[in-house]
Amino acid sequence: MILLSGKEVQDDIKKKLKEKIGGLTSVPKLVIIQVGENEQSGIYINRKKKFGEELGITVEHKKFQEAVTEEEIIQEIEKDNQDESVGGIIVQLPIPKNLNLSRVLNSIDVNKDVDGLSAGQMGLLYSGNEEAHVPATARGVISLLDYYEVNLNSKSVCVVGRSNLVGRPIAEMCLKRNATLTICHSHTKNLEEFTRVADVLVVACGVPNYINDTHTREGQVVIDVGIHKTDNGICGDVDFAKVKDVVSAITPVPGGVGPLTVASLFQNLVYSA
């Protein structure tokens, strides 16, 4: 069984990004907008700040209280849209439910939406535009598969999960690699019938240890996108202990897809510059 290390791929991406940045006349700034207090969001933001620092990229963190209005957030985004020193703007998710997420995301200049979550960027992605900013997790999954030379051409790929943030963009990227695709979700009956036949199984369902050895088979490549903090420690959507002796390759949790989400965000930022 091969352990697919996201950290190793992240280091490779970092090296290539430094080379790209060296050829830029000006280094773009990343603005992160956070609304409310969320411990996990704080951890993710700190990781982005650290990665940006290692690349020599300024990361500006703008934090707002939950009482902030939608208009105030959008006004702040508009300022960053007009600021030529800002190359990318992201809204750290989740945000309070009293704010209209779609309206907030769509107020970001489409060229500065380096998270790729606005309607404009999604339109570019699903229309096949090569310059689309692929959502970071989806881009990270593809980078991982490319690094380990997992060829998707004519292969069967099953994606468990259909969110706009992860499942759907991953599926789109697999289709671009000429994979034969199946998307499963909470209403899929007899899930094992779909997951077991796949050459590559990507799991992004958001349920701890949901996929086990009954869902997998020998020779599969399994990409576990999930990460959960439980009483027994950190785990993914895949029950690693039950699956690792069955499949041919699998991502660990932590240390698999996670490190690539941050790296992929900065790929979008630097490549757009």
Total Cβ atoms within 10 A of residue 54? 12
- Domain chopping of the chain, boundaries: 24-113, 136-258
pLDDT of 10 reads: 97
Low-confidence ranges of the chain (pLDDT < 70): none
pLDDT at 48: 96
* CA 32 distance to own-chain centroid: 16
Measured on CA atoms in the order 61, 62, 66, 70, is the torsion positive or negative? negative
What pLDDT shows up at residue 38?
87
The CATH class given to the 136-258 domain equals: alpha beta
Query: pTM for this structure?
Result: 0.94
Question: What pLDDT does 273 receive?
Answer: 85
HSE (side-chain half, CA atoms, 13 Å) at 265: 29
Residues 227 and 38: their CA atoms lie apart, in Å, by 16
Same fold, 24-113 and 136-258: yes
Provide the pLDDT for residue 272.
86
- Helix (H/G/I), strand (E/B), else coil: 121: helix
Question: Would you call 103 helix, strand, or coil by DSSP?
Answer: helix
Say what the pLDDT of residue 40 is: 86
Q: Please report the pLDDT score of residue 69 as a whole number.
A: 96
Tens digits of residue pLDDT in 82-126? 999 999 999 999 999 999 999 999 999 999 999 999 999 999 999
Contact 159, 174 (CB under 8 A): yes
The two tokens of residue 200 are 């590559």
Cα(270)–Cα(172) distance, integer angstroms: 22
Q: Which residues are catalytic?
A: 48, 92, 115
According to CATH, the superfamily of the domain at 24-113 is: Leucine Dehydrogenase, chain A, domain 1 (3.40.50.10860)
Determine the distance from the C-alpha atom of residue 77 to the mean position of all C-alpha atoms in its chain, rounded to a whole number.
22
